[in-house]
Amino acid sequence: MKKGLLLLGIMIAAISLVGCKNEKETSKKIDLSNNQTKINTSKSNDKIIPDTEDISDDYLNERYPGKEILHWVYGEKFKLSNEDIEEFGSKYGTHLISNEQIITLNDYLVSKGKKYVINFIRMGCGQEYINQVKHMISNNNSPDIINANVFYDYDAKTYSILLKYDFIDAELLENLEPYMSENMKEYKENIPDSVYNKSKVNGKFYGIGSMEKTTTKMYWYINEDIAKKYDIDLESMKQMNYEDWAPYFEKIYNAEKNEGTSDFKIMDNYPYTQVEDTALGYIGKFSGENYIDTKLFGKNEDTGLIENYYASDNVRQAFKNYTDYYKKEYFNYLNPTKKNEDEIFTGNCFAFLQQDMDVDSFVENNKTKYPKLKSVKKIYCYNQIEQFDELEDITGICSKSTKKEMAMDALNTIYSDRVSSNIASYPLYKIDREDYTENMDIENYAGPSKIFANVFVRYSSDYKKEGSELKKEEDLAKTSDKISGRYFDLNDSKDKIKRLVEIEKKYIDYSAELKGKFLNGDFDTTWNEFLKELDAAGIEEVIQLINGQIDK
């Protein structure tokens, strides 16, 4: 891939690969739960409060006499409907950590000689949650550990993804950077450097949440029957991008069109442009409403500074390629016979761009959509840097806690100890699917929790890798010391940014199907108009403002 502003030279399809856990993985998870159960003291066999009720401090004092109680608060991810609340028998909906997990974890901490136990306090959503935390503080009952996670309001149908920055702005989270070398040394050692650096906000470290970053190999899967029909030597194909495939696409498309072939596609799915990293900013206080969701400000990998993303020659060429393929209808079916959603296509497809998987499984997974697909050749394309949940949540120490040292020890232990991270991640009981309403995500109710533990030390069924392997992979991931984790103060450019984003949305619509004014008329003429409008709106002044803050 070319140096300079990261490119989209290759455009990727939005895909979702769903795989079944194999029997070996399933047995591992069962064994893990059994191991956790063995950790319990004799009291673990006592009747535990059901999840429809909350564990109280009195309950913990009776079970663990003489132990200090730390309060770990978390907000629900969902603002549920009244019907859901009634069904689950709970004011706020569902637990993200079960009472049995809480007790098992505390039994384990006590067995390790800790002077404290933890009460996980479940509260409301969004601003309601923040207000409840502030209320605890005003009543001299400050929480010790705070989790700030995304939440979804089913009534408003919107996500709030920057709740953690509301806590930071309210100065309710402690900067943990000064404690990493002593109090939280093991915590630091069990987090990949790339994740640690990426978690910082303007140089300060408040904690990590569910953020994970991994490198995925992307491959072309090429229909061997079609390649053979058109004498395409797939053995000679190496790291092909869209420009490399263009002559083959054109040859096959025109020939199949002339033959009158039905239900045939050159390429599966609508491709997206790929961006590894962009500048993040805020206008005024941290909040979801003021967060800048735009690709205008791209990172130059050579200089570590911000540039006009769309002014890059490589970016321009990628959009030009896309426009060319779009107008040639390479992403549409030739002569579709399908009339409604109940009918099934009987056709075929030449090229796919997806993550690494076994070719036989790939063919089997695509048989329903493309019944004529018999075999594919897998050709390496590039490494895709994937970011998971970068902005979603954070777990840190409350700045108002009167037990900070103990709270740090608790996080240090759980985030460096595999056993405790697994206890906090996986429920110790099974919940059947019928226990969920259709709008509840099974992962949020009974799946592995990523907000109470360190995914880099627990057993991870999601990534099928040990924590040490993840760490090695993470350390190889690209980061920028200048930009990663930076939020730039753009108060002086509010009006400019608003106008710039309006222009961007007019020309480029990053929806399920990449569309926009850039597809209209002559590409070069339209793109030049786009750049002129950005210049006139003051994009260079905003870039100067951002770059002026990078080295500070």
- DSSP 8-state assignment for residue 201: B
Q: How far is CA 374 from the centre of its chain?
A: 34
pLDDT at 162: 63
Cα–Cα dist 450/473, whole Å: 19
pLDDT at 441: 39
Boundary residue ending a domain (458, 485, 515): 458
Considering the domain architecture, whether residues 406 and 430 belong to the same structural domain is answered as yes
Considering the domain architecture, whether residues 172 and 117 belong to the same structural domain is answered as yes
Residues in Cβ contact with 281 at an 8 Å cutoff, skipping those fewer than 6 apart: 291, 292, 297, 487, 488, 489, 490, 497, 546
Considering the domain architecture, whether residues 361 and 410 belong to the same structural domain is answered as no
Considering the domain architecture, whether residues 396 and 352 belong to the same structural domain is answered as no
Considering the domain architecture, whether residues 95 and 141 belong to the same structural domain is answered as yes
Contact 133, 126 (CB under 8 A): no
pLDDT at 27: 26
CATH number at residue 56: 3.40.190.10
Contact 183, 405 (CB under 8 A): yes
Burial class (CB in 10 A: 0-12, 13-18, 19+), 269: middle
Considering the domain architecture, whether residues 128 and 261 belong to the same structural domain is answered as no
Report residue 311 as tokens.
Answer: 């002014």
Report residue 74 as tokens.
Answer: 């978390």
pLDDT at 146: 94
2 occurs within a structural domain:
no
The parts of the chain modelled with pLDDT lower than 50 are 1-45, 211-213, 273-277, 386-391, 429-447, 460-467, 469-479
What CA–CA distances, in Å, run from 253 to 239, 248, 393? 22, 8, 46
Considering the domain architecture, whether residues 397 and 361 belong to the same structural domain is answered as no
Considering the domain architecture, whether residues 230 and 139 belong to the same structural domain is answered as no
Phi first, then psi: give them for residue 381, nearest 5 degrees.
-115, -65
DSSP SS3 for 305: coil
Considering the domain architecture, whether residues 400 and 363 belong to the same structural domain is answered as no
Boundary residue ending a domain (388, 406, 431): 388
For the chain, give the percent of residues with pLDDT over 90.
34
Q: What count of other Cβ atoms lies within 10 Å of the Cβ of residue 322?
A: 23
Q: How many domains does the chain have?
A: 2
Boundary residue ending a domain (417, 440, 458): 458
140 occurs within a structural domain:
yes
Task: Give the range of the structural domain holding residue 220, as residue numbers without chain letter.
Answer: 214-270+331-388
pLDDT at 531: 98
